[in-house]
Structures are given as structure tokens and as C-alpha cells.
Structure 1
């Protein structure tokens, strides 16, 4: 099934669906392959959004960097509102994570360097991405591999969050007292209702890098409201086995105060300095912390599939999992079931009071039991038994020692030879 997109492009088949719209594999005027992101009809009918779309056109078209998926054109035609982008032959970072769970430190840092470079270029042009996450990082299967065997990484979906998050919808990351974004990667200042600056992208990228190393995000798990609260109130827990220099850098970029974080260009430079020291290190051998059941009031969040709002074809990393939809011959691919984009109320002041006052659930070294699990309880019982046996043996030893001392004095002393004391050994013999 083909359809015309404006007068210059033809979309042939669906690559994926997401919360913002549908991505098509298409061709341009010279027959070159392109990815066409066709936004939802309700967005296309919003005249204020269309006006802002046109205003953003020049900035997005001028955003030209090797680590940014190039926007070729913005199309406004009747009910069609579309971004035409370069087609990246590969897969997205979420797909690779779904298969491998975590990456070796050097490969993870190499990917983060590419994304940091992309953000530095965008920030220099005055553009904040606002939705950095693995789904929006594409891995070029046809590019030269870098340190740790990492393929070139490209950042996509610039402008989408800003276009959809209209002033009439709240602006500045909020909508009528609501947080709009992907909970696991939302910076604390967004949760507190402040406008998004470049530092929110650095925080999100640091969260992605933590996820690449650990296999899970530092504040994720449970209800989206609990996730948002953790971003504001909890400090990130260190990862067992992570090199010290890398941890210090990561921790700084996850600082609660935006001014304490590195700039994207600084983050890229520091990560490049760390890269050589990570050669040959295997993926971290850790387990995800035990989930904590948390209530957050009325469940007023609505998760929507952000799916694969991405210009890619199926890549070399196996069958894509949640958050990634491959090119499927003969029809559209099914939607992802991963809830990655959420709109929910801004937490109240009482819920966020006091800033960071705790530490997030600490990851466990691989093989150590979860607290409260049957294995953990059994280990505790064994530990208590060992302590009891040790205490009994110590008490018995003390009792025998007392009996021997009495025997030395010759009082009550039948039963066994007296042990010599150190004092008698050290004394000189008496003169005859």
C-alpha cells in the first residue's frame, strides 16, 4: 500500500508506529530511500501546532551533524504533517538492549560519546532534544565499528517533543500541571515543573549510559509516579564493579542540580578520555535491585506506545523486542507494548519536599540473594546457626580455660596436669 506525502514523496510501507505517528519507508524525488514520519491526524488538525511546525522547519533542516539523523524536509499538505528524514540501515539501541541486556563498558561509552556529540551540536544551535532514550538512538549497521565494536550511533526525533508539547498543552514539559515525557529519563527539574534546558538532555543521556552498563535505569520500576518521585528525592546508587573514573563522571551528570552537570561537549570529551582504560572489560556482572511496591495516589497516568518512531530497517542484532518494530514484509508491524511515554500530574510539594534524601535501590553483585527472598532467608538462618555454634564453642572454651587456671593453683585441682604460665617460664631459677 503506497501513498503520496505532499508532491515530492511516496511512502510505500510502514516501518513502525509510535505515540506521535507512523514511520514509513518511502522514496524522494530522485528515487532515494527516505524515512517519512507521518504525524497523527489529531496533531495535523491542530493549527497552532502546524504553525509551530513551520516555524521550526528552518532550525531542524539546518541541524546537520554526522551523529544526528538528518531531517530533509517538513511537509504540510492538507491533513498530512510529516518529517522526511534520512533512512538509517540498522536498528535502535532499545532493540540491542532487549537482546543483550547490558553492554561492555567500552561499547556503552562509545555509543554515549556519539550521542553526546549530537547533543553538543544541537545545543550549540539552540535546540534541546527533550526525549533522549534508547528508542531514539539508531545504530548504523553499515558504518565502521568503533571502540568495543560499537556501531556508529545517531540521535533522531529532534523537534518532536517540542512540536507535540504545545503551549496550549502546557509547554515547558508540562501540560495543565502534568509532566510529559518518558519517566525513566526525565530530569528532576522537569518533574518540578521547570522549563527544559540543555541540561535535561545530559541527565537523560547519563541515564541511558547507566542503563547500557547495568541493564536497568537508576530510578525505574513500578508506577510512573514513583519513578518521577525518585528522580527528585533519591540519589543514584553506584554500580558494583564500575571503574571509579567512569562512575564519578556518570554521577556528576546525574546530579539533581542542573548547574552541577557537565555540558554535552564536556561529557563527550570526558568520556573519550575514559574510553582507552575500558578496553577488554566485560559487561558488569550485577543483578537488578528488588522492585519496591509503591503507591502514588490515583493512577492518572496513561501510557502510550512510543514504539518505533524511528527511521530504520531491521538490523543485525536479532529479533527486536519491546520498543522496536522491524520492517515487516506484507503488512504493518504490530505495535510495541512498552509504555515509554507518559503524561501524568506534577507531584505535589509535600511529595517532593526536601530534595534528595535517600539512595535509590542498590544493585546487587551477581549471585547475591534478594533481600526478603527465600534464598536470602535461608542464608540468614545459616548465618544465625553459624553464629550460635561459634558462641557455644567460645563459651565452652572459656569454661575449660577457667578450670585449667583453678588447677594451676592447686585448689580443687584434681584432674589433669597444670599448664605452665608465661610468668613462670620467664622467671630465673632460684639459687640453691
Structure 2
């Protein structure tokens, strides 16, 4: 007998805060787990992206987009997102935990829903979707799997992983996203989605809820996509005659192939749904009967009742030949009335007793010691103000303290039970006063790889690393750690405090002596900006090669500037003709041309009086500027 493999995530502590308890669901992009937030002591849904997608920037971006999109919404019909982060190579979202089922589960169990049930669910879905559209967000994946039905009756829209900003038109540019059964015609034909694409998906979902099946089916996705693009969705009443005409009209409006003929957003469709809702409910009220008329039976007729005898729910009145026996009948009726009166007294007393019991029970649980009240939210209040608020609500306050990375020292961090929950009046509420963040030792991560540094500093808030060139520290290793004030981290630091890692990208590429094109390519590949100084002559560096590469920043980081000085080659100058010139004349002419002078030895005789006979190099030849020209004098 084989056993199912144990999920390695069960029992794992994520980011030092979230304890994984069990798996809830698994999708193509991520797995959702039930977890406990150890800091706030509450159950949450932890959505962890699959490991094999961690290196795919597209999926990472989409995963973070879900958190950002949902975080922009604060609506009772949208699943709340509390947190988003990364633990080692795992990207995760922390969401509100809603025990219950999805709309897909409900349809599997009941196949199809009544018009009233459909209206109830769609009212909640459209309310949440309207909030998203108002915030400029297109969901792009509306389907029964993303509608959550909580055990306590709440209905919420989830999974904004494909959400995008609702510009006039949002082009996907990729393969079509979302489930093919709910794709709008414009997504199929043009790959473009806006708020009206969500409306189309809502219309398809309404059709499925009312009929128990999707309007388009096929063996291949392209067959279904073709039907979306070319066919009109049939009326739900063609499959389920119980569907009222108002619902048929709503579905036809929402699923029009032309986006311009649909509601412009969820609010417009929701308003129309609420307009027709009373009529839908009125047309499906239970059938009531009129008061029953009691007709005389055959025995009464046999006893001699005349045609005038009439029983209409009241006492039997008969004008018969038996009126002579009226006295006996009166006595019998009087005795019966006495019995009814005595029974009425007992019933009245019983009603009073039950009323008293009901009133007492109502007082006990409604306003007395057994009643429940909402615990006030007191986070960030002073302990005195929080205590007063809790006592006014009927609770006994017990104060305790604990560290908190967010709430300043001396303010209320939280309560147990938490604010917003229900608790019995007169019960004790523990008030936690913040001691400020816990002060932790800081690990020395200088010189360590970034991945190892992230693990060692996981209890702090790591901001985006800053890349920097360094010839001594290997690439992708830590050069330094900075605190929120921009200064080096001290030996101890507050929990969840902001930390910035300075990470090496290796040395600045050495480009001196390289051809200028190769030098520019190497520097730009290292994400550096290149500018040029004026070219210079160089006797040592070939023409169009780099003489110097000057850094204009220290330290150097990607995007900084490197200034290149390029060689013009050797500085050659033609030697002037100074033959037959005096020494003084020759010295000035050759000096002005940039040459140093030397002359053949003349023993103890000043050269000023002599005339130049020749030079080396000779006149007309070229020599390096600054080189020496030897002068010979006539007669020597």
C-alpha cells in the first residue's frame, strides 16, 4: 500500500512569520495554503508561486501584480490581500482566509441555480467587480473558480493575477489569457481587453449558473474560441424555461459580440440588475390559497337541513324543523363555550410565560451578561484611550506588552480577541502595548553572496539592492550594508528595519589601449555611460585607441559616466631649415617648432658666433615633437 507524498511546505515557517498548516488548493501558477500569522495570531491564506516559475520574470511580474491590484481595492466583495514578499526563492501573497467553497463547487453539487440564487450571487460579484473597474482595474479572469462563497454567507471575488490597468484598451501582446470558456470576442480576435471584457465573462457565468452548462463547447479550445467570435449566446430560457425574461435580457446585453453594445462597466450592469430584481423575486413568490369555504356534508343534508343552510367558515345556522329543540342546543353550546374559555385562560397564561422567558432570554443575550459585542479596534491608540474604549463596550481590560515592528513604543499594538471580532460582554480583553521593534543582532554579510545575505537578514526589511563596481569583491557578493539613515548598519538593529545591500557587479572593465569601438561596447555592456574628451597625440598609443578612461564618480555604479581620451597617434613635426643661421637664430627656430637642441662639442668656445652647417635629423625630415635635433657648425 502506497501513501501520498507529504507536501514539504506543510509545517514550514515562511519569512519568519507565516506557519504553513495545510494545503487548500493548487493551480497552474501557485499553490494556496492555510497558514497562521504568528505575529497577529490569525489564520490566513498563503499563496506561494510554483518554484519552477521563480526564474520567469513574466510570472513573477504577474504574481506581484495580483498583490498590487487587490491591495488597491477595499471592498467587502473582494478578497483582502494583507502582505506580499519573498522568502529565499519563493514569492508569496498573504490573503484573507475564507472557509467555504467556490461557485464552481456549488455548480458541481447543484448543476444549476434558481433565478433568485443567481441574482444574489451576481449582485455580490458585480459589486466587487464595480469597485475594481472604478479603481481602473480589469480582472480579465472572471469565472466560477474565482468566486468564493464563505461559510458565513459572504461572497467575494478573488485571483487578480491577470489584472491590468483599465486603459481605453489593454492589449495582451501574448497568448490569450484567462479561461477559454469565458473569453470575449475581442480577446479572441484582437487580443484586447477592457472592462467590457469582464462583463462578457459575467454574462457567460450567469448563463452557466442558470442552465447548468456553458453556452459553447468543443473538443479543441479553438473551436470554442471560434464560437465566441462568431455566434451569439442563446437565451438561458431556451435551456431552462423557468428563467424570467428579465434575466434573458441581462445575459443578452452582457454577452453582445460588439463591446460597444455591452454595459460599459460592472456598475452599469449592477444598477440594471437591481432595477429588475424586485420583479424577478415577485414573479417567483410562493403560491398562497384563499380562505376555504366549508360546504354542508351529506349527513347534515340528511338531518333535514334546508337549501338555506350555509357554512362559510362561521357557525352552522339552520332554519329547520328542529327549532323546537333550541333550548337543549343552547345549553350544549353554553357548556362548550365555558370549556373554551377555561382553555383560553390556560393558553393566555402559557403565552405570558413564554413571552417572559423570551424577553428574559433576549435581555440576557441582547443586553445582559450573555450578550456579544464587537471588540473596538484600538491599534495605535494610547493604552488609556484604548482601555476606556474597551470598558465602554462592556469588556474587562487586562494589559500586557510585546514587541512590534510597526507600532511605535507606548502605543497599542493589538488586542486578544482582535478588534472587529465578537466577544461576550464582561469577558476579558488583553491589551498588548507595543515595546517597539525587537532589537536583533546583525549578521556580518560583507563578502557573502547575495542569496546567503538575504537569508541571514530575513528578519529585516530588505530594500532593492544597490549595484556597485568593485575590483576586490566578487560579482553578486555584498560590499556593504546600509540602514534606513544611509549609514553602515550597526551591530544591532530593529526587527523589520529597512536594510539596503550594496552588491558588487565586479570591476569596471579596463579599456585603456583598446580600439575606441571595443572600449565603448565593453563599457555599455557593463551599463556605464560613455563620453569623450578631446583626442590627444600619443607616442605610445596607436591612433583611435583609448589613452585613458577616467571615472567621474567614486564609487562607480551602473549608469555612471566614464570619459575616454582617444589617441590621435604620434605628434610628428617637420624639422625647419636652419643651415647658414647663427646659433641663436637656429635655437629660436627649432625651439619654436617644439624641438630640444644639442650641438657637437666646441672646446671652450661659445657657439653664439658660429653658423649652422647642418642638422640631424636634416631639414625637411619629420621627428617627434619634443625630440632632440643635433646642430653642427661650419668649420667644425
TM superposition score category, shorter chain reference: 0.5 to 0.7
- Say how many residue pairs are matched: 264
2:49 aligns with one of 33, 39, 42: 39
> 2:184 — aligned with what?
187
> 2:273 — aligned with what?
271
1:219 aligns with one of 212, 216, 220: 216
Asked if structure 1 preserves the Cα contact closer than 8 Å seen for 2:21 and 2:34, the reply is yes
> 2:246 — aligned with what?
245
Q: 1:192 to 1:120 in 2, by over 3 A?
A: same
Taking structure 1 as the reference length, the TM-score comes to: 0.58
Q: 1:49 to 1:221 in 2, by over 3 A?
A: closer
Which consecutive residues of structure 1, in runs of 5 or more, have no partner in the other structure?
A: 144-151, 164-170, 283-432
Separation in 2, partners of 1:137, 1:81 = 23
- Report the Cα offset of residue 276 of structure 1: 2.1
1:115 aligns with one of 109, 125, 132: 125
Separation in 2, partners of 1:66, 1:183 = 28
Q: 5 Å matches for 1:318-337?
A: none
Partner deviation per Cα, 1:63-111 (whole Å, 9 max, x = no partner): 1100001111112222111111101121100011001000010111110
> 2:29 — aligned with what?
20
Root mean square deviation, CA, Å = 2.1
Range moving further from structure 2, 125-134 or 51-60: 51-60
Name the larger-Rg structure.
Answer: 2
Which consecutive residues of structure 2, in runs of 5 or more, have no partner in the other structure?
A: 1-9, 165-169, 285-636
> 2:157 — aligned with what?
155
Taking structure 2 as the reference length, the TM-score comes to: 0.40
Q: 5 Å matches for 1:65-104?
A: 65-104=75-114
SS of the residue 2:193 aligns to: coil
> 1:124 — aligned with what?
134
Q: 1:44 to 1:211 in 2, by over 3 A?
A: same
Q: 1:248 to 1:200 in 2, by over 3 A?
A: same
Compare the two structures and name the one with the higher strand fraction.
2
Separation in 2, partners of 1:115, 1:207 = 13
Asked if structure 1 preserves the Cα contact closer than 8 Å seen for 2:115 and 2:244, the reply is no
- Report the Cα offset of residue 62 of structure 1: 2.5
Partner deviation per Cα, 1:360-416 (whole Å, 9 max, x = no partner): xxxxxxxxxxxxxxxxxxxxxxxxxxxxxxxxxxxxxxxxxxxxxxxxxxxxxxxxx
SS of the residue 1:88 aligns to: coil
SS of the residue 2:137 aligns to: coil
Asked if structure 2 preserves the Cα contact closer than 8 Å seen for 1:109 and 1:275, the reply is yes
Partner deviation per Cα, 1:129-185 (whole Å, 9 max, x = no partner): 111100110112213xxxxxxxx3210001x1249xxxxxxx94453xx32321110
Separation in 1, partners of 2:51, 2:218 = 33
Compare the two structures and name the one with the higher helix fraction.
1
Asked if structure 1 preserves the Cα contact closer than 8 Å seen for 2:182 and 2:205, the reply is yes
